[in-house]
Amino acid sequence: MSRNPHTSYMTGERGALPFCPGCGHHIIVKSLDKALVKLQKDPKEVVIVTDIGCIGLADIYFTTNAFHGLHGRSITYGCGLKLARPDLTVIVLQGDGGCGIGGTHLLNVARRNIGITLIVGNNFNYGMTGGQHSVTTPTGGITSTTPWGNVEGPMDLCGTAAAAGASWVYRATAFDKDLPDIIARAIEQPGFSMLDVWELCVAYYSPRNQVKKNDLMRLLDRHHLKTGLLANTPRPEYSAQYRAAVEKRKQVTPKPPITEKFSHSVTKQTGIVIAGAAGQKIKSTATVFAQAAMFSGLEVTQKDDYPITVMTGHSIAEIILSPETIDYTAIESPDYFIVISQEGASRARKRIESLEEACTVLVDRDISLPETRAKVERLPFAQTSKEIGRLSIATVALACLLRHSGVFPMEALKEAISTFQKSAIAEMNCKAVEAGARLVP
């Protein structure tokens, strides 16, 4: 705070406020100034964020920071500022129009309890675009877009914000003498606070509906809406909660890099496809196989294909091994094709049908395959893994492929498994490697 108290946060440099004579925005904006004077905030630490709408013209009349953004999104800018700098005082001025188009932001700022203050200049219609109806237009209200009288019901902004978890909610009218004090109280609330200020749009809504100062209370009564403090449920502000939560989070130890410990016999780009089902650990086993190839000095890529409902249906992984940089990452004619579930066989039917003679297919003996020119070897993958652990079937099959192809040593696969898998799983999978290798005569 500066040594001399702030007597106003408004600048005269821009002339008079731009609102129509008699518009409630005059009162709201001047009351905000009085509230800031009461709180004696450092103007550098205050940001007034405004929406599109007549009230959005107000920010530059203040000597504080000013942020004027897109229609309906002012809450998001206020939140972004507050998340980046929780120490700042962030006040959002928005109309009833902004509350409609940006309704989800109102719900979510209330739910998250991000400590900004929202002041709604609620005059029941869009003043800036010609007096169209808004989400708060009273039933029966005449506007440019409800010439026969509004058949929609008004949104209870306060009830909505309170139901979504706003920590402080108040409904006032622009004619309340203590409006500056109410605004100051709203700003002081550490969490999200909302002040819904009912007021007159003298250009459109008031003349069309003969609404004057005294009619506001009648409208409130008609819609069973109350004024005054409607919610006061303090709880920790978002950023404080976030810091506390992330500090408790344990840091994950980074995985060790892969050094070349083994040799390989791969002379050209080699494509391997493993087709199975959800729950067979296809993806993670393909990854550990790829890491084993890297322990053997190979370049590797891996792509996966699985349905978005991840716990059902097919799961297919494609691995390319190469002694050199891999440029083209598609496998047009696989060198090895492993099939360990019927779902995988069905999903890959077209590919299996078009496999070349040079390809070797290693398939579980109980799975029916479509016609193919490739060499097919039927092996007891499922039965073998049943004895070791159901989740080991992909490891059994890839170990079998490794022994069959000799592309890199079994030891490399064991090294990758013990480096990257949790010990209980690694123990099972090392057994699976032995068992898979034994399947090749």
Partner 1 sequence: MGREFLEGNEAIARAAIGAGCNFFAGYPITPSSSILHYMLEWVPQNGGTAIQGEDEIASMGFCIAAAMAGRKVLTATSGPGISLYSENIGLAIMGEVPLVIVDVQRQGPATGSATKGAESDIQFVHWVTSGGLPIIALSPATVCEAYSLTYQAFNLAEKYRTPVFLLTSKEIGVTRESVDLSRIQLPPLIERRRPVGAAEYAPHYFDRPSDVPPISDFGGEYISRFTTSTHDKLANMTADPAVIQEMIDHYKAKIDSAIDDISLYEEDLQEGAEILIVSYGITSRSTKVAVREARQKGVQVSSLTLQTLFPVPERAIKSALKGIRKVIVPEMNMGLYIHEIQRLACGMEVIGVNKMDTTLVSPRMILEQGGVL
Which residues contact partner 1 (rule: CB under 8 A)? 43-45, 47, 52, 59-60, 63-70, 73, 75-81, 83-85, 87-88, 104-105, 107-108, 239, 242, 246, 249, 251-252, 255, 257-260, 287, 290-291, 293-294, 298-305, 308, 326-330, 332
Q: Nearest Cα to 317, choosing from 365, 267, 346, 281?
A: 281
The tokens of 311 are what? 């716990």
Q: What's the rounded Cα separation, in Å, for the pair 373 and 171?
A: 77
Q: Which is nearer to partner 1, 301 or 405 (CB)?
A: 301
- Whether residue 16 contacts residue 107, with contact meaning beta carbons closer than 8 Å, is answered with no
In whole angstroms, the minimum distance from the beta carbon of 135 to partner 1 comes to 17
Q: What is the DSSP string of 289-321?
A: HHHHHHHTT-EEEEEEE--SSTTSSEEEEEEEE
Q: Which is nearer to partner 1, 327 or 357 (CB)?
A: 327
In whole angstroms, the minimum distance from the beta carbon of 260 to partner 1 comes to 8
In whole angstroms, the minimum distance from the beta carbon of 341 to partner 1 comes to 20
Q: Which is nearer to partner 1, 287 or 384 (CB)?
A: 287
Q: Which is nearer to partner 1, 132 or 241 (CB)?
A: 241
Q: Which is nearer to partner 1, 50 or 385 (CB)?
A: 50
In whole angstroms, the minimum distance from the beta carbon of 80 to partner 1 comes to 3
In whole angstroms, the minimum distance from the beta carbon of 255 to partner 1 comes to 7
Q: Which is nearer to partner 1, 105 or 414 (CB)?
A: 105
Q: Which residues touch 432 (CB under 8 Å, ≥6 apart)?
A: 384, 385, 388, 389, 392, 395, 396, 399
In this structure, the number of other CB atoms found within 10 A of the CB of residue 192 comes to 32
In whole angstroms, the minimum distance from the beta carbon of 361 to partner 1 comes to 22
Strand 117-122 to strand 89-95: parallel, antiparallel, or no bridges (unpaired)? parallel
In this structure, is the dihedral angle defined by the CA atoms of residues 142, 146, 150 and 153, taken in order, positive or negative? negative
